[in-house]
Structure 1
Amino acid sequence: MIKIFLLTMIIVVSLSGCYSPKPVYRLQVADQEHLSWRYGSEYVTMNYNRLHLEAAYIESYDGFYVFYVTFSNESGLKAVVDPAKFFYIVDKIDPYLEKKPDIQAGDTVLADSPEERLLKIEKDISTQIAADKNIVARQIFTGIVSVVADAAIANAVGGDDEDKSEAVCERQAERMETYRVDRENSKFLIVSMAERKQFWATEVLRKTTLYPGYEVGGYVFFKHYDEIEGITINFKIEGISYPITYLQVVYEP
């Protein structure tokens, strides 16, 4: 008994020590010339041909570099803002990596396309709605089949009618609980996907024809890589590039 207890304690202690906090990654603007601060974020402002850019790195989250970008048009001509054409070039990779990274210096990484992301979310919602309907259909089918199974089990249990009825009720309760949990999980997924769709549809910068005197803004997402030490992001509009160089700073926990 003591050996079993000690073995259990060793396993618990080992498991509790398996996880360690990950470093925190942040981007910092390399060139301070066009830099200003607002609510703790670095804002870079640029103006080419009276097309004004204001870009702020917000955070590195869930595998992305997250920016908030605003364009305003004072050029007198309309301009098309398309986040799918934004990109960054990898300037430098950590030279002390133990294994070859998935990204290399000189590689180009496109911004996440809002339209493609929305299409994927809509497909996922459609798939989950079908899965939810299948849960209902499966419950109906299982209920029909289980009538015979319940009767057979009740007879196998033996005893008086009360014992048989109790056995049947227990099986029915188990099935209903499984059904309830499956439906709740399915509905939660559908609601969660709908909220993601709402965010990408309304909060993220999407392809927009920007007329003179107007501005448009929203979040822009680029894929994050731990191995990167420096990148140059190009917020490109109407053939004009707005390059901003960032250094990736690592904060150990």
Structure 2
Amino acid sequence: MRNVIYSAIILFLVSSCAIPENIVRIESTENDIDWLMGKQVITKTEDSITIALKYEQKRGDYVLFDTELFNQSSEKVMVSPRNFSIVEINNTSTNKRWIAATNPEEVLLKKDIEISRSIAAQKNAATTSLIVGTALLATDIAKTTSRTDTPEKSAARGAVAGMTYITAGAIHNANVRNEEYGLRDRVFWAHDVLRKTTLYPGESIRGYVLFPRENLFDSFGVEIRLQEKVFDFNYKLYSIPANNY
């Protein structure tokens, strides 16, 4: 019996071990590269519009590109993540695959729904805790005045009440953590991510553009379309397998 228990414990530990992820590096293949705090900065200008692009990092399921745009033309320019896409660089096929940038407005809507549900869950948990606590208190009072009550029964009721409060508290704390995380993440998407903006002559804007990192191409270009202009920034992805380190 003891061997079976030991085997089960070993099997659990082996199956629950975390596996390191592959390390991913994204580097520019452009010739003209500037550097800022260890990051490559690629700058391109066309018809008085300048774009500086810097691969920043990965964040969860996304890769981030720090983007700054300058409108030095005499006309206003509409900037939107919908103008950004990743296009596969593949010389063996004429059908190029592409990945659209993530729309921050859609993400913000989902965040608002999640936060609203979390707040509602907190209120429901608090109401449930109050109802259960009141019922247990009433039961305890009734039992205490009963002649059939004993110290053992009273202690058992107290244990049940304690477990009920602990469970309700754990649910409440989990909902609070979800709400706090959702609010922090919402601030990032609302203020740090590039959103649809009209740039008037002489104006500039800076923000992150995010792409899903799943199935990212080994060689790709970040394509930015502004009105009739197209800006291309070429990159290559390097992956270091986890079993190599």
Which of the five TM-score ranges fits, normalised by the shorter chain? 0.7 to 0.9
Secondary structure of the equivalent of 1:192? helix
After TM superposition, the score normalised by the length of structure 1 is 0.83
Separation (CA, whole Å) in 2 of partners of 1:9 and 1:64:
36
Question: 1:105-162: CA deviations, max 9, x gaps?
Answer: 722211011111111111111111111111122223323444576579989xx773x3
Separation (CA, whole Å) in 2 of partners of 1:147 and 1:9:
42
- Whichever residue aligns with residue 15 of structure 2, its letter is L
Separation (CA, whole Å) in 1 of partners of 2:152 and 2:5:
40
After TM superposition, the score normalised by the length of structure 2 is 0.86
Q: Does 1:177 align with 2:166?
A: yes
Separation (CA, whole Å) in 1 of partners of 2:96 and 2:206:
28
- Does the CA contact (< 8 Å) of 2:140 and 2:154 recur in 1? no
Q: 1:9 to 1:113 in 2, by over 3 A?
A: closer
- Could you say which residue in structure 2 is the equivalent of 1:71? 69
Deviation of 1:91 after TM superposition, in Å, equals 2.3
Q: Does 1:55 align with 2:67?
A: no
Secondary structure of the equivalent of 2:51? strand
Q: 1:125 to 1:19 in 2, by over 3 A?
A: closer
Separation (CA, whole Å) in 2 of partners of 1:20 and 1:221:
26
- Could you say which residue in structure 2 is the equivalent of 1:120? 110
- Could you say which residue in structure 2 is the equivalent of 1:231? 220
Deviation of 1:86 after TM superposition, in Å, equals 0.9
- Could you say which residue in structure 1 is the equivalent of 2:87? 89
Secondary structure of the equivalent of 2:112? helix
- Whichever residue aligns with residue 82 of structure 1, its letter is S
Separation (CA, whole Å) in 2 of partners of 1:126 and 1:225:
29
Range with greater deviation from structure 2 (112-121 or 1-10): 1-10
Question: 1:80-116: CA deviations, max 9, x gaps?
Answer: 11112211112249xxxxxxxxxxx722211011111
Residues matched between the structures, number? 238
- Does the CA contact (< 8 Å) of 1:56 and 1:67 recur in 2? yes
Q: 1:148 to 1:67 in 2, by over 3 A?
A: same
Q: 1:226 to 1:22 in 2, by over 3 A?
A: farther
- Could you say which residue in structure 1 is the equivalent of 2:236? 247
Separation (CA, whole Å) in 2 of partners of 1:149 and 1:107:
67
Range with greater deviation from structure 2 (45-54 or 130-139): 130-139
- Could you say which residue in structure 2 is the equivalent of 1:7? 7
Separation (CA, whole Å) in 2 of partners of 1:174 and 1:143:
11
What is the correspondence of 1:100-179 to structure 2 with a 5 Å cutoff? Answer: 106-146=96-136, 160=150, 162-179=151-168
Deviation of 1:40 after TM superposition, in Å, equals 0.8
Separation (CA, whole Å) in 1 of partners of 2:207 and 2:128:
43
- Could you say which residue in structure 2 is the equivalent of 1:80? 78
Q: 1:206 aligns with which of 176, 195, 200?
A: 195
- Does the CA contact (< 8 Å) of 2:56 and 2:66 recur in 1? yes
- Whichever residue aligns with residue 81 of structure 2, its letter is P
Deviation of 1:211 after TM superposition, in Å, equals 1.3
Secondary structure of the equivalent of 1:56? strand
Separation (CA, whole Å) in 1 of partners of 2:212 and 2:82:
13
Deviation of 1:245 after TM superposition, in Å, equals 1.4
- Does the CA contact (< 8 Å) of 1:92 and 1:228 recur in 2? no
- Whichever residue aligns with residue 46 of structure 1, its letter is K
Q: 1:227 to 1:54 in 2, by over 3 A?
A: closer
- Quick one: percent identity of the two aligned structures? 24
- Does the CA contact (< 8 Å) of 1:125 and 1:193 recur in 2? yes
Secondary structure of the equivalent of 2:238? strand
Separation (CA, whole Å) in 1 of partners of 2:55 and 2:216:
18
- Whichever residue aligns with residue 23 of structure 2, its letter is V
Secondary structure of the equivalent of 2:226? coil
Separation (CA, whole Å) in 2 of partners of 1:2 and 1:168:
36
Separation (CA, whole Å) in 1 of partners of 2:133 and 2:107:
39
